[in-house]
A and B are shown apart, each in its own frame.
Chain A
Amino acid sequence: MSVGLLSRALSALSVSRAVSPQIASVSGVSAALTGSRGFMTSACVCQNRSLWKQREKYTVRPIGMKKTGGRDYTGRIVTHGIGGGHKQRYRMIDFQRLRYEPGREDQPIVEKVVEVRYDPCRSADIALVAGGSRKRWIIATETMEAGDVIRSSCTIGRMAVLAKEGDSHPLGALPIGTLINNLELLPGKGAQYIRAAGTCGVLLRKVNGTAIVQLPSKHQIQVLETCVATVGRVSNVDHNKRIIGKAGRNRWLGIRPSSGLWQRKGGWAGRKIRRLPPIKSFVTPAQ
């Protein structure tokens, strides 16, 4: 509205009265349609909404988070049901297990678990592991405890490795039938799948250079065998058996109540029994 007022005011000042912008602004049609160029009347709002997540250097200490409340940069609710809840601090998790310390790329990665603790940002527990001169947070597996020693390797031998829970190996080195978690889709990208509490995938088959894994949703995917995954189930196995108990606990978790309006459910609702989709392959034909 301010743009329209100012454009009208300025056109009133100019000598050659342009007819179309005046009429356009009088009839309330958008300036974009009529061709007059609007202009900025005030400075952009300085948004530091996402400055807390712009840190590049890895750190073990927790970082203060800003809650969005389900709103985006325009201020409107994009996702309903999010808001409030206990204040949380974000701990930077290293999803790439095979990250070498600068200067120690030739030595195998052996780390000791210092502590396993609750993470407010995810359902799984996280573990602080220390190896060499660095510490990092990783997703803890089911029976991980303080004092355990875990290894991460990148070699695929001729024989399958006896998989110990908590260690991470490429899929080609694991025996078929092992339960895995924190699966990478592309080698070196970092774990993207199977990270939630209590989940595990199963290594089904290994087919010349690729491996087929069944995800917790029973979907099957095909990835390169050099992708690294951690052995075992993710920690906090009884997460799905917890009882919230009261509405207040949901509010503590940052979940706002859903709208109470009854709406007739359409074809999308209800149980569907259908066959599994075909195996999704993340291997490009060139590889």
Chain B
Amino acid sequence: MFNATVQRIRTPAFKITKNCKSKDCHSVLYMIPHGRRFLSTSSCLYGKILPRKKPRVVHEIAGLEPITYADRMHFVPGLAKPRFPPWDRGWKDPSHYTSPKLEDMPLHKDKPCYMFNQRTNVLEGVRQALWLSKSVIIKGLPAQILALAEDPANQIENQDERVQDAIKNSRLWDTTEPRPPRERFCPSLLHRLLHLCDGLQVMRPELAKRILAEKYSLAATWRRGEDVFQVRGQNGLLLNSMTPVPVLAGEEQIKSTADQALETFYPIAPTIDLQRTHIYQEKNDTGFREGYPYPHAHTLFLMEMGNTPKLFPEQLRAKMVMFAFGNALARAQALYGKEPRVLEKPIVVQSVATNGRLFQFVVFQLNTTDLQSDSGVKNLVWVDEDQPLYGFAKVWPFIKKKVVKVPAGLSGYQPNTFKKFLALYLHGAA
């Protein structure tokens, strides 16, 4: 009949990927992905999705009101499309809530704030934390704590045996699966070690005036130069005590810090990796209410289990320093007010972080809340890095070419690490 070439109509391989009931969709456009219909000939036959043409640009001329078809209540070719004011429901419907733009939010401020939270992974590590908290670092723990560690009167009976038992319990015997994951053995080990240390309460009643708190939200604000910084978040276990931790550095050491310069790391700015936000509240909160019987933060225990996010030891130490500083600053502002000043009675906060095997110890002494300038008295940080509690805790021995390289069970136990852990725990009560 027709002298036309016979063309095979190719069937587009379509399938409805979305199953939704018709009563859920008030408009058929909800069901169609892309939100529009493709009615050109080739789209219908061959499933070709033509790219959307840009809509005609309508220029607004000041002073001229366009004549719209709003009064006619239907489309009239030739008249402009009416633009109606956004409709306000009058009451807050939670399922139809659109948040206001960032600039219209009530807490919006022009000046940005740099936040450090529990997920922050700073690039420069401890150097950046020292600049932010205006501190000077001393490698190794202070002499008083080392003396506590070496003193045999402070040991638990059968200390080494009991610690090794605790490690074996959490690393090897905790699960029926081949090996427990880090998210399981790390908190389990920390709780067992704390329980061991708590056993000394029989001999030292001052140890009973402490309490462990978990999931408390810290907030501390300070200004450094022209920027506002904040530490926020739920960081870890906090050991609170009724009495403050005794001051570690003497007057001369504190005054000598005024001569030491803060380390900068040009070209990287100290605000790198911090969350920059314009919507914030300048809050100073220790996490506990007024009249809490254990107001003084003693030790912060951080667990690094590699999930949110995985922190290298340097970044973990930076997190410890920042949160110890945040706790100390919040306490200082609660005690002495928000005015920046040099504290007559410095506040000391300790921190212990572990990933299940390696322990990092940090002691932070807050000497001044005057953090605006880079000069003057600075805070002190003692850092003890990468102390292994044990070498390996293997379920199966590591055999290479029929030679046992690492035996099964616990190997490479270091007793000094637990002595330091215990000394930090006893500091302030011994």
Measured CB to CB, the residues of A under 8 A from B are 1-4, 23-24, 27-34, 37-47, 73-75, 110-112, 114, 130-135, 149
Contact = CB atoms under 8 A, between A and B. Distances in A.
Interface stretch (B8-16, B59-67, B194-202, B367-375): B8-16
Interface of B: 1-2, 4, 6-9, 11, 13-18, 31-34, 37-39, 41, 43-45, 47, 49, 123, 266-269, 271-272, 274, 276
29 contacts: A2-B11, A3-B11, A3-B44, A3-B45, A27-B1, A28-B6, A29-B4, A29-B6, A30-B4, A30-B45, A34-B2, A37-B44, A38-B41, A39-B44, A40-B37, A40-B39, A42-B14, A43-B16, A43-B18, A44-B38, A46-B33, A47-B33, A73-B49, A110-B266, A111-B267, A130-B123, A130-B267, A131-B267, A133-B269
Contact of A134 (B8, B34, B39, B272): B272
A3 B14 CA distance: 12
A44 B49 contact: yes
A32 B43 CA distance: 12
Given A27-B2, A29-B2, A75-B13, A44 B47 contact: yes
Nearest to B265: A112
B14 A44 contact: yes
A74 B32 CA distance: 18
Contacts of A131: 267-268
Nearest to B123: A130
A32 B45 contact: yes
Nearest to B15: A45
A135 B123 contact: yes
Contacts of B33: 43-47
A248 to B, nearest CB: 27
A100 to B, nearest CB: 13
Contacts of A27: 1-2, 6
Contacts of B123: 114, 130, 135
Contacts of B43: 40
B268 A29 contact: no
B34 A44 contact: yes
Given A112-B267, A135-B123, A30 B14 contact: no
- Give the most central of A33, A34, A111: most B CB within 10 Å: A33
A134 B123 CA distance: 10
Contacts of B267: 110-112, 130-132, 149
Nearest to B33: A46
B268 A33 contact: no
Nearest to B2: A29
The 3 closest A-B pairs by CB, nearest first: A46-B33, A30-B7, A110-B267
Contacts of B11: 1-3
Nearest to A103: B112
B18 A46 contact: yes
Given A39-B44, A44-B47, A112 B268 contact: yes
B2 A24 contact: yes
Nearest to A104: B269
B363 to A, nearest CB: 30
Given A29-B2, A111-B267, 19 more contacts: A3-B11, A3-B44, A3-B45, A27-B6, A30-B9, A33-B2, A43-B17, A43-B18, A43-B31, A45-B14, A45-B47, A73-B49, A110-B266, A112-B268, A130-B272, A131-B268, A132-B267, A132-B269, A132-B272
Contacts of A73: 49
